[in-house]
């Protein structure tokens, strides 16, 4: 399987669109400190509308309008905030920088106290942009994209769900249990990890299909090449719920066909040059040396 690396750089480093972790109005002093560093480095910041409303002192722009105005986006919060920024801005191809002000911070690279140093590096091109796969799901004439995962989940906790699956049009499995996770390599360390799925290096062109609480001892997670299409059909169940990065939900009825494939472009994450995935595993998952 292919691993995609790039030497891509930002076209300009003048304007940053900032999104803050929801329900965190206590972040005001930290935001002002971060903003001061951006200004000192000659980078203007514009707040996203909900973030501005939460702080209560700037007007802010709706995310889609903000994306048209800025050179890159900055997510200040945890993994959830970064996931939502990447997913909701995906159509604009903007690189996203995650400043870690959350709890785990598996995806968010730069710590609050590192912002000033990192911006010096950003201005001189000393950073990298990772191109990361997104997964796309087509259902009922709608299309959803996810950065971590799309989960086809049972609709009621009291009953199992049955999901028939085809790969490139050919039937290959019938999942019977709580549901199925279709994860990107980025999402492999999230829900997929919790249910025993494999960790996949984040720049690999592949995706993972992992059963959740399968009622069969032979079911296992599958790592698949990026160029296939998978089709799922809910059978003899009470419908299903799709979870997009664990944040958006969509209900589907029995016999609905859900097609999943890799999005035809990638999300861009801005990282420190020194960031190393294996150090992140070591640090955040406590693997030790
Ligand atoms: N049982 C589980 O482990 C479980 C259940 C539901 C959802 N999730 C995951 O939570 C994700 C949404 O994250 P959230 O922060 O919005 O929700 P959340 O606040 O419920 O947090 C889920 C946890 O997963 C971590 N996380 C998120 N993405 C990660 C990644 N790519 N690698 C490693 N850890 C990651 C977060 O830091 C947090 O600790 C979903 O995409 C799904 O993968 C996990
Ligand atoms: N746009 C969004 N839509 C729905 N939920 C969101 C959105 N942005 C953030 N959240 C949720 O807000 C919660 C807190 O945000 P976040 O994950 O950034 O911080 P955290 O949980 O402290 O950090 P971490 O994820 O690194 O452990 C998460 O449950 C996340 O899913």
3-state secondary structure of 286: coil
Q: Determine if residue 149 is labeled as part of a ligand binding site.
A: yes
Instruction: Give 65-98 pLDDT, tens digit per residue.
Output: 999 999 999 999 999 999 999 999 999 999 999 9
In a domain, 6, yes or no: no
Nearest ligand, CA of residue 182?
Answer: 1
**How far apart, in whole angstroms, are the C-alpha atoms of residue 208 and residue 226?**
10
CATH no. for residue 205?
2.60.200.30
Count of CA atoms in the C-beta half-sphere (13 A) of 102: 23
Query: Do both 182 and 102 map to the same domain?
Result: no
106 is written with which tokens? 């598996």
Residue 187 CA to ligand 1 centre (angstroms): 8
Ligand 1 binding pocket includes 148 (Cβ within 6 Å) = yes
Ligand 2 binding pocket includes 102 (Cβ within 6 Å) = yes
Q: How many CB atoms are located within 10 Å of the residue 82 CB?
A: 30
Say whether 71 is catalytic: no
Q: Determine if residue 192 is labeled as part of a ligand binding site.
A: yes
Q: For the chain, what is the domain count? A: 2
Query: Do both 127 and 143 map to the same domain?
Result: no
Q: How many CB atoms are located within 10 Å of the residue 285 CB?
A: 13
3-state secondary structure of 156: coil
In a domain, 4, yes or no: no
CATH no. for residue 36?
3.40.50.10330
Query: Do both 187 and 123 map to the same domain?
Result: no
Query: Do both 40 and 90 map to the same domain?
Result: yes
Ligand 2 binding pocket includes 103 (Cβ within 6 Å) = yes
Ligand 2 binding pocket includes 187 (Cβ within 6 Å) = no
Query: Do both 147 and 181 map to the same domain?
Result: yes
Query: Do both 169 and 77 map to the same domain?
Result: no
Instruction: Give 95-137 pLDDT, tens digit per residue.
Output: 999 999 978 889 999 999 999 999 999 999 999 999 999 999 9
Query: Do both 194 and 105 map to the same domain?
Result: no
What is the residue with the minimal CA distance to atom 26 of ligand 1? 190
Residue 88 CA to ligand 2 centre (angstroms): 14
Nearest ligand, CA of residue 212?
Answer: 1
* Residue-number span of the structural domain to which 154 is assigned: 135-262
Written as one string, the DSSP assignment of 19-54 is: EE-TT-GGGHHHHHHHHHHHHHTT-EEEEBHHHHHH
Query: Do both 153 and 256 map to the same domain?
Result: yes
pLDDT at residue 289, rounded to an integer: 67
252 forms beta bridges with 240
Instruction: Pick the catalytic residue from 44, 79, 130, 254.
Output: 79
Query: Do both 147 and 256 map to the same domain?
Result: yes
Instruction: Give 140-149 pLDDT, tens digit per residue.
Output: 999 999 999 9
- By C-alpha distance, which of 113, 105, 109 is closest to 127? 109
Ligand 2 binding pocket includes 104 (Cβ within 6 Å) = yes
Query: Do both 252 and 150 map to the same domain?
Result: yes
CA separation, residue 128 to residues 204, 256, 269, 282 (Å): 16, 41, 8, 21
In a domain, 9, yes or no: no
In a domain, 118, yes or no: yes
In a domain, 1, yes or no: no
Instruction: Give 234-280 pLDDT, tens digit per residue.
Output: 998 889 999 999 999 999 999 999 999 999 999 999 999 998 999 99
In a domain, 104, yes or no: yes
228 forms beta bridges with none
Q: Determine if residue 247 is labeled as part of a ligand binding site.
A: yes
- 116-119 — which CB contacts under 8 Å span 24+ positions? 116/37, 116/40, 118/272, 119/37, 119/38, 119/40, 119/41, 119/43
Contact 27, 20 (CB under 8 A): yes
Complex confidence, ipTM: 0.95
- Tell me phi and psi for residue 255, to 5 degrees: 70, 5
In a domain, 7, yes or no: no
Query: Do both 188 and 254 map to the same domain?
Result: yes
User: From the centroid of its chain, how far is CA 158?
Assistant: 29
In a domain, 86, yes or no: yes
Query: Do both 35 and 87 map to the same domain?
Result: yes
């Amino acid at each position: 399987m292919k691993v995609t690396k790039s030497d891509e750089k930002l076209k300009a480093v003048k304007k940053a669109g900032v999104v803050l972790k929801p329900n965190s109005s206590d972040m005001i002093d930290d935001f002002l400190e971060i903003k001061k560093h951006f200004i000192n480095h000659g980078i203007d910041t514009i707040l996203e509308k909900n973030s501005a409303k939460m702080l209560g002192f700037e007007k802010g722009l709706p995310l889609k309008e903000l994306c048209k105005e800025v050179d890159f986006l900055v997510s200040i919060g945890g993994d959830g905030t970064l996931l939502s920024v990447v997913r909701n801005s995906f159509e604009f191809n903007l690189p996203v920088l995650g400043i870690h002000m959350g709890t785990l911070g598996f995806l968010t690279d730069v710590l609050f106290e590192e912002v000033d140093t990192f911006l010096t590096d950003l201005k001189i091109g000393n950073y990298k942009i990772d191109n990361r796969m997104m997964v796309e799901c087509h259902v009922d004439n709608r299309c959803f994209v996810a950065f971590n995962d799309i989960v086809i989940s049972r609709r009621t906790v009291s009953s199992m769900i049955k999901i028939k699956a085809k790969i490139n049009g050919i039937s290959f499995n019938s999942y019977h249990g709580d549901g199925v996770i279709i994860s990107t390599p980025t999402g492999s360390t999230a829900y997929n990890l919790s249910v025993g799925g494999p960790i996949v290096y984040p720049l690999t062109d592949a995706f993972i299909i992992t059963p959740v609480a399968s009622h069969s001892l032979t079911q296992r997670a599958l790592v698949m090449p990026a160029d296939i299409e998978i089709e799922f059909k809910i059978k003899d169940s009470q419908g299903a719920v799709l979870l997009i990065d664990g944040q958006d939900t969509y209900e589907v009825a029995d016999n609905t066909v859900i097609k999943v494939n890799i999005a035809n472009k990638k999300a861009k994450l801005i990282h420190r040059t020194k960031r190393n995935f294996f150090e992140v595993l070591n640090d955040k998952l406590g693997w030790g040396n």
